[in-house]
Chains A and B, each alone.
Chain A
Amino acid sequence: MKVDAIPAIQSRQTRRAYGAISIWLRRAWKQRQLYLLFLPAAIFLIVFAYIPYTGLVMAFQDFSPRRGIFGSPWVGLEHFQYLFGRAGFFQILLNTVLISLYKLVFGMPIPIIFALLLNEIRWIAFRRVSQTLASFPHFLSWVVYGGLMVIFLAPGGAFANTLSALNLQDPRLLSTPATFRSVLVVTEILKEFGWSAIIYLAAITAIDPTLYEAAMVDGANRWQQMRHITLPAIRGVIVILFILHLGRILDAGFEQVFVMYNPSVYSVAEIIDTYVYRIGLVSGRFSLGTAVGVFKGVIGVILILSSNQVLKHLRMPTIW
């Protein structure tokens, strides 16, 4: 009796499971046109995003293009051991994190201040012009904006001429290791602060004007209103952007560094991405370059997922 009952229950469960699957399939079949519409984008993502994932095995091989992924010998973690055994790699890691953190620490307050001060201005035409001009450089590539800076700062350029007219020496900002990172941080801020301010201005626009009226009735001055109404209203946006930036800490600005640096500042300016390019594509050490890429990718995923978790924990909008 008992022995007989078990297959009966099982088959009922199986039937129910099959039933659920066939219902799902029937629902999916009804929507087949939608899957068809999704197909072209899916093919592109598979070819250009998913197939390259298979190339990551190069990091564990002694890869040569002639022998290909299937013919190259496996070397396990040799490339990673090589990297972690070299002081140069830690310098590159340090450069990446430092440049990124400097940009975060010095770059975040400027657009916030810009937005807060713009909001204090009554002359609307001035605000529009100022904001329009300041956000323009965002649309230029780093080749262009960095190129402008190189023309301006290079030896014999306008910056050097101005200093020599004042009887000062040209500090050669672009080729001195002590100053190069500051050039990166300052030019990044100049290029991006106007654009970054927009998101804060949008948040400020959403503030209920009656809050200010009430504060004024209570005798709050302008500074107090900014401090206790405007700033708290954009605090959420500030936290989100800060955490998102932390999640991307290994992206120190590939294009900017690549365009502006030169061999005399490699020691302070070589970052992970430029290193991968130089060692992997220029020197043709594909496996080593891929190993660095794998290292960056894995840390990057951990950071992005954690920052997303933090945002979720704070009940803030997440990336996806």
Chain B
Amino acid sequence: MRLFQRSTHPALRGHNSFADAIIYLILVLLTIASVVPIVHVLSVSFSNGNEAAQMGLMLWPKGFTIDSYLFVFKGPALLHAYGVTIFITVVGTTLNLLLTITAAYVLSRSDLPGRGVLTLFVVITMIFSAGIIPGYMLIRNLGLLDSVWAMILPGAVSAFNLILMRNFFEELPVAIIESARIDGASEFRILTQIVIPLSGPAIATIGLFYAVAHWNEFFRGIFYITDSTKWPLQVLLRSVVVMADLNELGMSNRDLYGQLTVNQLTIRAATVMAAVVPIAALYPFLQRYFVKGIVLGAEKG
């Protein structure tokens, strides 16, 4: 979905260079304001520590060096947290899609007796959540504290994404599904051989919704994981970047002695950038599919 495909009207409309200049100025300022923190910290992460510590806003590295990144990846902690996050993203998203696709297909079938009740069963979980403490108690009783599964299983079905997926499926032509049923195909076959192949973009969109949520998983890590060797990336980031606790990288502030080019500031900058880069690399896909998702969600309500 390209938002600017049908953009005929501005070209037809009155043109005023002064108004245009103001408009461009506002747009440039807004855009810069939203991304300048990222550019600044990126510049700091590639800078010489002593110089960066003296600087104001930076749009370019000062005394270019990659030492901060070498330092950050020297210890095992960051790579380990990457591993945990990649695991919960891959396994979690797979489980999410399996459960969401099957249930959404069922709810999309208008000829299903009891469809309204089943939909309500799903929607209730979206309106009212038991909250933090009952959720914690469940995980504790299941013996999942300090297990990566505590970050995968509780969110395995998102009611919101399920309803969104159902809306996608409801757009599919009913006649194809009908004729397959008359030919005696099982529901499982209809789902895997007709519905799923026809829904590639929808599945990609919702898969990315889930994947980004897993990549950014934070609270379940804070709530359920106390063993820092099992922390996901975001929890480690909070310790290192926000709390400035370099011990969590598997090294102490003592390791900074004798470092000429690296200091606490550039290390925090490099750590946070290590989490931005994968999102930035995937961003072209994310943006394309997410726009599709948000537009469809908006149209269907």
> Known: A114-B30, A120-B23. Contact between A300 and B128, CB under 8 A?
yes
Instruction: List CB contacts (< 8 Å) of A218-250 with chain B.
Output: 221-222, 225, 237
| Partner of B223 from A113, A127, A212, A281 at Cβ < 8 Å | A281
Instruction: Pick out which of these stretches binds chain B: A2-10, A35-43, A81-89, A176-184.
Output: A35-43
Complex contacts, A193 vs chain B, CB 8 Å: 30, 34
Chain A interface, >50% SS class = helix
User: A286–B133 Cα gap in the complex (Å)?
Assistant: 6
Is the pair B134, A58 in contact by a Cβ cutoff of 8 Å? Answer: yes
Complex contacts, B93 vs chain A, CB 8 Å: none
User: A202–B33 Cα gap in the complex (Å)?
Assistant: 23
Complex contacts, A117 vs chain B, CB 8 Å: 23, 26-27
| Nearest CB of chain B from residue A242's CB, rounded to whole Å | 14
B121 within 8 A of partner (CB) = yes
| Partner of A44 from B11, B157, B212 at Cβ < 8 Å | B157
Is the pair B16, A222 in contact by a Cβ cutoff of 8 Å? Answer: yes
User: A277–B209 Cα gap in the complex (Å)?
Assistant: 26
Complex contacts, A135 vs chain B, CB 8 Å: 287
Is the pair A143, B102 in contact by a Cβ cutoff of 8 Å? Answer: no
Residue of B with least CB distance to A149: B37
B40 within 8 A of partner (CB) = yes
| Nearest CB of chain A from residue B161's CB, rounded to whole Å | 11
A169 within 8 A of partner (CB) = no
Complex contacts, A145 vs chain B, CB 8 Å: 37
| Nearest CB of chain A from residue B42's CB, rounded to whole Å | 9
Chain B 212-254: CB-based contact to A (< 8 A → 1; otherwise 0): 1001101100110000000000110110011000000000000
Closest 8 CB pairs of A and B: A317-B301, A55-B134, A293-B131, A162-B56, A52-B130, A41-B103, A141-B216, A147-B241
Report A's interface with B, CB cutoff 8 A: 24, 27-28, 31, 33-35, 37-38, 40-42, 44-45, 47-56, 58, 65, 110, 113-114, 117-122, 124, 126-128, 130-137, 139-152, 156-159, 161-162, 165, 190-191, 193-194, 198-199, 201-203, 205, 207, 209, 212-213, 216, 221-222, 225, 237, 254-255, 258-260, 273, 276-277, 280-281, 286, 289-290, 293-294, 296-297, 300-301, 304-305, 316-320
- Listed by A's residue number, 19 A-B pairs whose Cβ atoms lie within 8 Å are A37-B106, A38-B106, A40-B102, A48-B138, A48-B153, A52-B129, A119-B10, A124-B4, A132-B287, A143-B235, A152-B37, A194-B34, A205-B3, A212-B12, A216-B14, A289-B132, A293-B130, A293-B134, A300-B127
